């Protein structure tokens, strides 16, 4: 975790200095990661970088959809266990319905015009993230103190074969690598900052705080969770029902998690929306479907909303696709990512076999 945090900070440090480069005197700006790659590496690498970046953003949107459904289902089950007892047959069904609810909410939020209009949503998401992380860390610490002993082992969950062990380690490494995704949209975030002071200087302070705080909570929740439950710990302390009481606190933490995911989904998806808007506007500059905006009066809002038909169609299709992707699609993607992590450990398996 510390190594990935360090790599993330270095990546963020280098990217932040690409915002105004290579010619600082002409005030040239690279508004996106693709712009920075185009400036420094050329057009061919730009499209490769863009494909991988937006594919990652799309996969993250699917992951957030599934995670939200899991949190909402956990709230329902926590109430069921509280009312019916811990041995009650509280079913695990309902995920697809919760995905549809999340998709409906994202359909509304997706009509936020662009990244610059998302300040309020980002603040809410950040507060919710801090809240549920604090609750998770506190529950793990309290359970460890209650047990009076530290459970688990350094070796982790025992496996029947070395190959299974290596596979589980590779999955864990993949989960840790997925813990710092914000560098994908770092330049887009930096573009919202005002200067002076220079955007890169402000971003550096934010990077340090973000990496330190998130690493602290990741390590705290992970270590205390393992210390409290040992090898029986679940992947998520708030949804795996390692804790049953206080049920209201579990519900509140999961609700905060859902609100955080609502904002996080938009944080990543808005980059795809902006890219689509620019590409379609450049390809069809004279199309009314793409370029024309209609003023729509919204009840209770003084200013009218500028509606664009292209945005309605594309963003609706995008949200529908991430909502309908389903667990099987995301599991397959995780399998591919895990395979790349697994390849890096093949040498260790061969050495063990030969030795």
CB neighbours of 335 closer than 8 A, spacing ≥ 6? none
Give me the phi and psi of 300, to 5 degrees please.
85, 0
Predicted local confidence at residue 348, as pLDDT: 36
**C-alpha of 31 from chain center:** 21
Report the distance separating Cα 310 and Cα 64, nearest Å.
25
Contact yes or no for 109/266 (Cβ under 8 A): yes
Contact yes or no for 306/277 (Cβ under 8 A): no
Q: What is the DSSP string of 128-171?
A: HHHHHHHHHHHHHHHHHHHHTS----TT-S--SSHHHHHHHHHH
Report the distance separating Cα 239 and Cα 259, nearest Å.
15
CATH of domain 2-354: 1.20.1740
**Domain spans in the chain, listed from the N-terminal domain onward:** 2-354
Predicted local confidence at residue 241, as pLDDT: 55
Report the distance separating Cα 29 and Cα 18, nearest Å.
8
Q: Which two tokens stand for residue 12?
A: 């963020």
Contact yes or no for 200/20 (Cβ under 8 A): yes
pLDDT at 135 over 80: yes
Predicted local confidence at residue 271, as pLDDT: 85
pLDDT tens for residues 49-95? 888 888 888 888 888 888 888 888 888 887 777 777 767 667 656 67
Query: Cα–Cα–Cα angle for 198, 275, 301, nearest 5°?
Result: 80
pLDDT band, very low/low/confident/very high, at 351 (cuts 50, 70, 90): very low
pLDDT tens for residues 87-132? 766 765 667 888 888 888 988 888 887 766 677 777 888 888 888 8
Report the distance separating Cα 158 and Cα 156, nearest Å.
6
- Tell me the pLDDT of the chain averaged across its residues: 77
| Residue matched to tokens 């609100």 | 259
* Mean pLDDT (whole number) for 233-249: 68
Contact yes or no for 115/188 (Cβ under 8 A): yes
Predicted local confidence at residue 329, as pLDDT: 53
Give the gyration radius of the chain's Cα atoms. 23
* CB atoms closer than 10 angstroms to residue 132: 22
């Amino acid at each position: 975790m510390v190594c990935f945090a360090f790599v993330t900070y270095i990546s963020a440090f280098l990217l932040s200095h690409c915002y105004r480069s290579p010619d600082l005197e002409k005030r040239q700006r690279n508004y996106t990661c693709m712009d920075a790659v185009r400036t420094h590496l050329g057009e061919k690498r730009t499209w490769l970088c863009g494909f991988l970046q937006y594919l990652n953003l799309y996969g993250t949107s699917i992951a957030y959809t599934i995670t939200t459904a899991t949190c909402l289902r956990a709230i329902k089950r926590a109430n069921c266990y509280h009312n019916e007892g811990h041995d009650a047959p509280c079913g695990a069904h309902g995920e697809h319905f919760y995905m549809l609810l999340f998709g409906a909410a994202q359909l509304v939020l997706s009509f936020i015009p662009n990244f610059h209009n998302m300040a309020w949503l980002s603040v809410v998401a950040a507060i919710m993230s801090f809240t549920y992380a604090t609750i998770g860390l506190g529950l793990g610490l309290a359970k460890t103190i209650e047990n009076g002993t530290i459970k688990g082992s350094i070796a982790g969950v025992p496996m029947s074969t070395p190959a299974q062990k290596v596979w589980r380690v590779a999955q864990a490494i993949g989960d840790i690598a997925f813990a710092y995704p914000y560098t994908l949209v770092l330049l887009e975030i930096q573009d919202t900052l005002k200067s002076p002071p220079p955007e890169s200087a402000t971003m550096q302070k934010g990077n340090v705080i973000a990496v330190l705080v998130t690493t602290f909570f990741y390590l705290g929740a992970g270590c205390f969770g393992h210390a409290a439950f040992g090898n029986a710990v679940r992947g998520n302390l708030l949804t795996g029902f390692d804790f049953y009481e206080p049920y209201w606190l579990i519900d509140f933490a999961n609700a905060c998690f859902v609100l955080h995911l609502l904002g996080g989904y938009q944080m990543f998806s808005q980059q795809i929306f902006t890219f689509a808007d620019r590409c379609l506007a450049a390809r069809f500059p004279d199309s009314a479907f793409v370029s024309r905006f209609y003023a729509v009066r919204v009840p209770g809002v003084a200013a009218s909303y500028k509606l664009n038909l292209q945005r309605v169609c594309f963003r609706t299709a995008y949200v529908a696709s991430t909502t309908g992707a389903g667990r099987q699609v995301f599991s397959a993607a995780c399998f591919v990512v895990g395979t790349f992590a697994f390849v890096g450990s093949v040498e260790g398996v061969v050495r063990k076999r030969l030795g």
